[in-house]
Structure 1
Amino acid sequence: MPVQTAPRSQSAVTRDYIAKQSPTSNIASLISHLPGVLAPSVDPAGVTNDHIMLRGLNETETGYVFEGVPIVDPMSYAPYTAMIVDSENIGRVQVTQGSSDLTSPLYNAVGGQIETSEITPAKQMGGYIAATGGTYGMNKEFLRLNSGEIGRTGVYGFASYSHTSYDNWRGPGGLTRHHVDARLFKEWGDNNSASISFGWTAQEQVNLVSPSLAKWEASGATGEYESSHYYPGNSSYYKLNQHNPDGLFITAPLKFNLGSGLTFHTTPYLISQHGPSIFGQNLPVTGGYFGTRSYGTLNVPYAVNGVVTTQRFDPWEQRASGLNSTLAWVHRNNTVSLSYWYAYNTHHEYAAYSPVDYAGNTPSNYESDSIHVFGGTQLRGYNYNFTQQVNTISLDDTLTLFGGRLLADAGIRAAMLTISGTNEVPGADPYRGGGSYFQPLPQIKLSYRLDRKNQIYINGTTAFRAPANVTSYVESFSPTSATPSSTPGVNLKPEYSISEEVGFRHTGLYNLSVALFNDNLTNHQLTSTTYLSGTNILVSQSINAGGETIRGVQAELGLKPWHHFSPYLSGQYLHATTDNNYDTGTDYLPTKGKIAPETPKFSGAVGLSYDNGHMFGNFYLNYVDKQYSTLMNDQAMHSYTVANATLGYRLERIGFAKSPQIMLNIVNIGDNHYLSSPTGDNPTAVARKGIFGTSVSGSEPTYNIGAPFSAYVSVSTGF
């Protein structure tokens, strides 16, 4: 439990803790025991899932920053942390619950901020090598090489490569991931530095199916999964349902000491990601649609009983680039900073369809062999082209008084966001969509140190989030119907929050942090999900849940090592309610006063670590209370408890090997069978009458299944 001094709630995990977790862990799984954080697992290795809840708000309402750069999909706000960095190269992860920095390049951080830093290159030439193997055929190989000083330039660097693969723990298929990290770093003069970080990922993964509550209860621990054998009409065949993203990440943080108390930070960056995502789907040979226009009869092979099985190919492509800069001036006991962030993002995505032969094989060239209609036009379910521009400017002033015991910080950010795009399929209404948003976001924070060990603080912050996903602005179609599979949500407006917090900290033999918080949200945006009929394609749609009030208390307690043992406790009590009746467009559902989805009343973790320099280990147990998955509170997940453990031993230097070690990581020790999270939050699970008597259809939620017992053995050494 690292010492914190900022006038707001913050928790962190250090490099020492990260090094003792499974080498396949992503950022979400590394912070799962921190107060206010729910990070439900999906795969035992912890590679793929980035779903979190932070004080009852999900990952799309949380700002993710890596080395000064936002690392979320700029359209959907979904994080892809495993695409950015290997856990072996993470130096620290810090969570700010309920607020974000004014200088951070974020415009969706209603729930808080997660900031990750990369390790600094070693000053000596050498490296690190590790290999991991375990349950479900999981294996990871990792190699990092340190350059030491390059010539006499004062530049140090490292480059690493990793390969990870495993079999799905339920159903056929699995995951294969290749990843490269590299960094160059130089410091000079009085607090000047420059670095450049590079990351590249290529990943292939067979999708896991998310069952309904009824199907999970009927099938037990595994729920549904993709089919391992193909026959004509079997769109659930696993080779037809994959997510294969590639990504490239470059950032170059620069810091200059200009003298006279002036410092300048600037960080240019580029992130490029592309698919494809592919799914199986059956199309009617006659009577299907291109948008709202009937395509007549398809001229395709391999049709059986008037139906052709296809692979839907979605080669989405996204580029995000920007520049985030801060000029700060320190004069006596006052610090003033001026920040500006500009970002330009593009998103292109379409859905094309290729026939599958009688053996389940797909064409080698998706473009030339895809289905065409109307004399040569490629059949598409949607064809999105979007651009987004972000401008934020912030001014912050920090004043310290009484020898630094009192800190007062006040500032404001002005966020300006423009989104514009089209869906170029026949009948799309609207053909063009988008929005322009402007929001001033003030903050004020006060902190007072009672003495060297005790601190109290209070703050008031604001945040906003523009509607997420391209489907918030234009329709989406499927060739099986002229009716859109998703439409822009009813009354979608930017989400806005006002948050207040009062906290206390004690540092010393034990570190204690307690905070009481109150958040008020307007136009709270949720994502409703349902499977497209007859497919494993999960269709998402943003909905406006109205106002929400979130109140609670979080606490964290850690003891410094005592006889090499360090116990740890964290917990949160949460009371979150929906403040308005839900607007369906034709009526209202009586949701006012009901418990907000995915807001368990109690959650917490108990941990114990041991490290005597040679033998080390840790144990963590997480508890999560019952969670509703609908605004009407007519369906819920049960509470669950999961325990993980680590046991390892470090040796002395053996020849060229520096501190070789062996480590065992155990996930879900008791093999608890549980649902870990909903895939989305639907208005109602069953059909019912609205307040004014209009029939409102229901949509049964689907869920992620918690990862089962697994164990991994790692051997590693520096050299």
Structure 2
Amino acid sequence: MKLNTLFATLLAVGVGGWTLSTLAEDTVDIGNVKVTGQSLGNGLMVQEESAKGRSTVTKEAMDEMAPTANAIDKLKYTPGINVSSTDASGVSGTSFTMRGMNSDQVGVSSDGIPINDSGDYAVYANLLGDPENLGEVFVTQGSSEIDGPHIGSSGGNIGLVTLRPTKDFGVFVKQSVGSNSLNKSFARINTGDLNGFKTFVSASHTEGEKWRGKGTVRADRVEWNTLFEDGNGNSTNAIFKYSTQENYNYNTLSKAQFQKSGRGLDYAEIPIYNSSGKLTQYYKINRNPFENASATLTQRFQLRDDLALTIAPYYFWSNGGSFSGQSATGLSSTSDKAGNYDLSGLAYDTYYRPSWTESWRPGVNTKLKWDFNETHSIDVGYWYERARQRQTQPFISITENGTPEDIWGDYNSGNQLKDNNGATVQGRHQYTVTPAQKVWVQDMWTVTPDLTLTGGIAYQYVERDGNNLGSLYSAPEKRDARYHEFLPNFSARYQINEQNQAFYNVTRNMRTPPNYVLYNAGDSISLAPELSWNQELGWRFSQDDMLLSATLFHISYKDRQLSTTNADGDYEMLNVGSVVNKGLELEWSGLLPYNFNYYTSYTYTSAEQQDDVTTRNKELPTSGKQLANVPKNMLNASLGYDNKRYYGNVAAKYVGSYYGDLTNDQEISGRTTFDINAGVRLPVDKKILKSAAIRVSMLNVFDKEYLSSARTVVLNAAPVNGVSAATPYYNVGEERTAMVSFEASF
């Protein structure tokens, strides 16, 4: 574990008193959840009350899935979302699309803390924490929450809610082992109620070998949650989380590579040298070290019977990077194209050059809730964050055995290449400050006991201040941009009768352009934010042994942002016009005789581009084409058994075909995969041993070979109108994988 001064300081503060956590009701609006009796579909579906499309995966369901899967993996059967991970470890790469939106267009938060990257809104598996400590994971598939702390969400939100500490002392331990030497050790201690304070602290270690190619994955985590409640509606909840990892990357494959060499192709397993005798390719240079820490302190004050104030300051820090290129980076005395370094006398060599990012994100979310009278409840809130991000590309020497001298690219560390003046040579050197704020007001009007109307408006203002400090390829330059919009929302929920409920909502969302626009070539700085209107019309049916929901959705957004290269090979951001996503989501779950249960979900998504794209002064025929990486059809179905001692389920997942390019020239076939989960809850005396279980999971039972999702989307995969073809690259679906876990509570 690579500890640093920041981690040591945060841990000391946490031990001294507060740590990080939030109350479920004080995270971004999680809605109301009713669970009566046995959860349906093994907890994959619960009765929802929000006036919007929403799905919740309960702790019961998460416990019965693959033991090392992360929070996003746990959503793999949820309607509207298509999840793909590079392996089953839970700490390697994870990507998803939701209703035609990429993961970097969807807001993701953990206990109210935004965990999308503040620059490009990417979501990384190492930021998701230990799933053993989650009480639920919820998804609002189309409409971002009015109080959501996001600047990059065109639609939808995923929320992770941490378990509360228990009132009784207890110890929980879990050991998981699986294919490819995968193993995870997890332990959590609850202190119980100590003068009103309840705390848990946990630690975990995960490691394993890559399932294709050579290399390992490894991660260590520490989490702490303290809760104080005075019994009068006042509470303080603090959570701290730290994670560090040192992974080897998986290579992406083109369709041609996959068809020729199969799914096992990866980075070179033996060193490859160029004609100068310098290393160019070797899996040991394709590394991904990363560490992050987060803390939040959520305080709820019941000022009067009808007035409550919530204040939730937070802090997020991350430091890490990755090198996933196909060859080491060459450097010599003639490599300085921008004149920022003195490289005279530097002999040609190749280097490990990770793309490195360090982020600091302090912020605060506040909300005042006023129950004005019996029919009106008014919420007023304010969110502020000042994110700072430093992005570099240092050059680190490669040893004779092909390993970098140091895989960590910490800023200006001593093992990085310096020029003749002592300056660290950088392939990029950028520092971005992003102050963001949002003020909002919302009124929930209970018109009748059966009809509730909610209306609100938010004003969001985002600044991007970029300082290009100069690199091998660019001269020093400062740029800035400002973005601001009013974002209204309206929803209606009508309880037709005890079993039937209807809802409608419309929400406007904004996605601020990524920080790349401050540094890319051309007129990227003038790129407008993505603006979307999200509409949903839905119906829910519920009874004791069955839940059913159906949602129609329509998302229209303009000024879609896409990163590409110009004729000179420089990166630039393009506005590729308007897109309309529309479709249907169905979800059905229930109980059957003899302790059997079922769950199924279906999603149809049409993600149609409305405009042709102009690139390099030439027009590409994209109008009317499906967005890349968006399957039109997805179907999930599971049949389970649970008699409170033994459980088991078989789950099938169908994902339809999708494209790797905007012109729809390269199609990837659909696939159907099967998973099996089973377990036994062991009889215990309840005195010392409170509970114990053995759980078994097998993923991709029939060992289906497939490309799971597009990692690199291109404009056109075949020559069109004089524009040369580009090559999309894809993530590869994992082979059949088995795991078993042993757990016990004391």
Residue 176 of structure 1 aligns to a residue whose secondary structure is: strand
Q: Determine the structure 2 residue equivalent to 1:536.
A: none
2:703 is the counterpart of 1:662:
no
**TM-aligned CA deviation for residue 452 of structure 1:** 1.1
Structure 2 length-normalised TM: 0.88
Q: Check the 8 A contact 2:338/2:475 in 1, yes or no.
A: no
2:603 is the counterpart of 1:572:
yes
For 1:79, which of 107, 116, 123 is the aligned residue?
123
Aligned mates of 2:91, 2:645 — CA distance in 1:
28
For 2:531, which of 488, 496, 516 is the aligned residue?
496
- Structure 2 CA distance for partners of 1:56 and 1:29, relative to 1, 3 Å: same
**TM-aligned CA deviation for residue 46 of structure 1:** 3.5
Q: Determine the structure 2 residue equivalent to 1:705.
A: 732
Q: Which range is displaced more, 212-221 or 488-497?
A: 488-497
**TM-aligned CA deviation for residue 373 of structure 1:** 3.0
List runs of 5+ in structure 1 lacking aligned partners.
301-306, 476-485, 534-538, 690-694
- Structure 2 CA distance for partners of 1:417 and 1:491, relative to 1, 3 Å: closer
Amino acid at match of 1:335: S
**TM-aligned CA deviation for residue 281 of structure 1:** 1.9
Q: Determine the structure 1 residue equivalent to 2:705.
A: 673
Q: Superposed, which structure 2 residues align to 1:281-292 within 5 Å?
A: 281-291=328-338
Q: Which range is displaced more, 359-368 or 158-167?
A: 359-368
- Structure 2 CA distance for partners of 1:324 and 1:561, relative to 1, 3 Å: farther
Residue 72 of structure 2 aligns to a residue whose secondary structure is: helix
Q: Determine the structure 2 residue equivalent to 1:5.
A: 49
Deviations 1:594-635 (A, max 9, x none): 111122111120012221111012222111111111111111
Q: Check the 8 A contact 2:181/2:209 in 1, yes or no.
A: yes
- Structure 2 CA distance for partners of 1:298 and 1:498, relative to 1, 3 Å: farther
For 1:687, which of 687, 697, 719 is the aligned residue?
719
Q: Check the 8 A contact 1:209/1:226 in 2, yes or no.
A: no
2:557 is the counterpart of 1:513:
no
For 2:183, which of 133, 139, 142 is the aligned residue?
139
Aligned mates of 1:700, 1:541 — CA distance in 2:
18
Q: Which range is displaced more, 48-57 or 234-243?
A: 234-243
Amino acid at match of 1:14: T
Aligned mates of 1:494, 1:327 — CA distance in 2:
29
Q: Check the 8 A contact 1:521/1:548 in 2, yes or no.
A: yes
Deviations 1:82-141 (A, max 9, x none): 324201001001111110221221222222011111111111111100101110010000
Aligned mates of 1:19, 1:321 — CA distance in 2:
33
Q: Check the 8 A contact 2:612/2:623 in 1, yes or no.
A: yes
Residue 373 of structure 1 aligns to a residue whose secondary structure is: coil
Deviations 1:319-368 (A, max 9, x none): 11100011011121111110100001100121121232433244359733
CA RMSD, 1 decimal: 2.3
- Structure 2 CA distance for partners of 1:491 and 1:704, relative to 1, 3 Å: farther
Identical aligned residues as a percent: 27
2:348 is the counterpart of 1:310:
no
Residue 366 of structure 2 aligns to a residue whose secondary structure is: strand
Q: Determine the structure 2 residue equivalent to 1:450.
A: 496
- Structure 2 CA distance for partners of 1:394 and 1:112, relative to 1, 3 Å: same
Aligned mates of 1:562, 1:543 — CA distance in 2:
56
For 2:633, which of 586, 595, 602 is the aligned residue?
602
For 1:343, which of 385, 397, 411 is the aligned residue?
385
Q: Which range is displaced more, 104-113 or 6-15?
A: 104-113
Structure 1 length-normalised TM: 0.92
- Structure 2 CA distance for partners of 1:526 and 1:50, relative to 1, 3 Å: farther
Q: Superposed, which structure 2 residues align to 1:319-358 within 5 Å?
A: 319-330=360-371, 331-358=373-400
Q: Check the 8 A contact 1:73/1:79 in 2, yes or no.
A: yes
Q: Check the 8 A contact 1:28/1:49 in 2, yes or no.
A: no
Q: Check the 8 A contact 2:469/2:476 in 1, yes or no.
A: no
For 1:551, which of 567, 576, 582 is the aligned residue?
582
Q: Check the 8 A contact 1:599/1:628 in 2, yes or no.
A: yes
2:402 is the counterpart of 1:360:
yes
- Structure 2 CA distance for partners of 1:658 and 1:260, relative to 1, 3 Å: closer
- Structure 2 CA distance for partners of 1:120 and 1:488, relative to 1, 3 Å: farther
Q: Determine the structure 1 residue equivalent to 2:346.
A: 299
Residue 65 of structure 2 aligns to a residue whose secondary structure is: coil
Q: Check the 8 A contact 1:290/1:379 in 2, yes or no.
A: no
2:438 is the counterpart of 1:392:
yes
Residue 395 of structure 2 aligns to a residue whose secondary structure is: strand
Q: Determine the structure 2 residue equivalent to 1:247.
A: 292
Q: Check the 8 A contact 1:324/1:342 in 2, yes or no.
A: yes
For 1:207, which of 240, 246, 249 is the aligned residue?
249
- Structure 2 CA distance for partners of 1:359 and 1:108, relative to 1, 3 Å: closer
Residue 86 of structure 2 aligns to a residue whose secondary structure is: coil
- Structure 2 CA distance for partners of 1:406 and 1:552, relative to 1, 3 Å: same
Q: Determine the structure 2 residue equivalent to 1:118.
A: 162
Q: Determine the structure 2 residue equivalent to 1:692.
A: none
Aligned mates of 2:91, 2:122 — CA distance in 1:
15
Q: Superposed, which structure 2 residues align to 1:144-155 within 5 Å?
A: 144-150=188-194, 153-155=195-197
Residue 169 of structure 1 aligns to a residue whose secondary structure is: coil
**TM-aligned CA deviation for residue 587 of structure 1:** 2.7
Q: Determine the structure 2 residue equivalent to 1:304.
A: none
Deviations 1:261-305 (A, max 9, x none): 1111121100100014346623143532244679665434xxxxx
Q: Determine the structure 2 residue equivalent to 1:431.
A: 477
Aligned mates of 1:368, 1:160 — CA distance in 2:
34
Q: Check the 8 A contact 1:627/1:639 in 2, yes or no.
A: yes
**TM-aligned CA deviation for residue 487 of structure 1:** 6.7
Aligned mates of 1:8, 1:685 — CA distance in 2:
37
- Structure 2 CA distance for partners of 1:541 and 1:237, relative to 1, 3 Å: farther
Residue 215 of structure 1 aligns to a residue whose secondary structure is: helix
Aligned mates of 1:544, 1:679 — CA distance in 2:
20
Q: Determine the structure 1 residue equivalent to 2:460.
A: 415
Aligned mates of 2:588, 2:506 — CA distance in 1:
24
- Structure 2 CA distance for partners of 1:15 and 1:596, relative to 1, 3 Å: same
- Structure 2 CA distance for partners of 1:582 and 1:292, relative to 1, 3 Å: farther
- Structure 2 CA distance for partners of 1:161 and 1:516, relative to 1, 3 Å: same
**TM-aligned CA deviation for residue 234 of structure 1:** 3.0
2:555 is the counterpart of 1:522:
no
2:743 is the counterpart of 1:716:
yes
Aligned mates of 1:34, 1:315 — CA distance in 2:
33
Deviations 1:509-538 (A, max 9, x none): 3111001111111011245599x99xxxxx
Residue 405 of structure 2 aligns to a residue whose secondary structure is: coil
